[in-house]
Structure 1
C-alpha cells in the first residue's frame, strides 16, 4: 500500500485548477496522500490541501518537520488516513498508478468516512471535482441543501 503518492506535475496542476478559491499561488505540490490530499511547499512553510475537508492549512516550517510528522502513527492517521487506506486495501481496493481512493458521496455532502463509501478514481478527476464541490458549498450555512451544477 502506497501512503505517499506522486503524480506528474501537469496532472497535479490540472487537478488543482478548481481550487482557485484557496491561496495556492505560491505553493508547489510535493506529493499526495492515498486520498488525493496535496502536500505543498510554500516560501516559508509546508502546507496541506485537504481535498476531503476542502481546506488549506499550514503544517510546519521545514521538510524535516513534515517527515517527522508523517513518520508518527498519529501523523499517518490524521494526514494520510492510513487506517482507512489499509482497510480499503484489505478489501481489494488497490489504486493503479493514476488512481486514488475517493468517496462515492463526499463527506461534505453527508457521505461516510468508510470503506463502503470508497471507490477508486483517477487522481486528476477526483481532485478537480472535489474542488468544484467545495467551492460551491463553502459559503452555505450548516444544514442548507447543496445544489451542485
Structure 2
C-alpha cells in the first residue's frame, strides 16, 4: 500500500485554510500522509504539518532527505503510521482517492491511536476540521476540561 498521497493545489488549499494560524506562508504542499499530515516545501527545507499533534516543524533540509527518511522503517512509522495503516488495510479499511484516515475521537481530545478509533474522511474536510480543533485548543488554558465538540454554521466549536 502506498503510504503517501498527492492532491491538486486547490484541495491542499482548502484543507490548509484553517491552519493559517500556524505559519504556512512561503510553504507549498508536496504530499500528504494517509492520515492527512502534510509535507511542505519552504524556507530552509521541508516542513512537516502534524495534523494529529497540531504542530509545524522544519524537519529536513531537502526533499531528498525526506525521501531517505521515509524509506526507513522508523521514518515510515513515525511520520506515516505504517503499522497502523497496515492493520487498517488488513481489516479492509482503505481511503478512497480523495480520502484520508481520521481518528473518530481525536487524540488531542484523549482519543487513542488505535485501529478501532480510525475511520476515513474527505481529505479537505478532515484536515480542515483538525486545524480548527487545534486552533481552538491552543487558546485554552492548560488543564481545561473539554465537554465536547459541535458544529455551528459549518464551523467546529469546542465546548468547555
TM-score by length of 1: 0.96
Match of 1:14 in 2: 14
- Describe the superposition over 1:71-111 as per-residue Cα deviations: whole angstroms up to 9, x where unpaired: 11110000001011111111110110001000001000010
Shift of 1:139: 3.1
Q: How many positions carry a matched residue from both structures?
A: 149
| Separation in 2, partners of 1:57, 1:91 | 32
- Structure 1: gaps spanning 5 or more residues: none
Distance in 1 separating the partners of 2:121 and 2:57: 25
| Post-superposition offset of 1:2 | 2.0
Deviation, structure 1 residue 140: 2.4
The residue that corresponds to 1:46 in the other structure is 46
Higher fraction of strand:
2
Higher relative contact order (CA 8 A, sep 6+): 1
CA distance in 2, matches of 1:144, 1:136: 12
Q: 2:11 aligns to what SS in structure 1?
A: helix
Distance 2:101 2:129 in 1: 13
Q: Secondary structure at the match of 1:20?
A: helix
Structure 1 residue ranges, 4+ long, deviating more than 6 angstroms after superposition? none
Partner of 1:77: 77
Q: What RMSD over aligned residues (CA atoms) do the two structures have, in Å?
A: 1.1
Alignment of 1:1-149 (within 5 A): 1-146=1-146, 148=149, 149=157
Structure 2: stretches of 5+ with no match in the other structure: 150-156
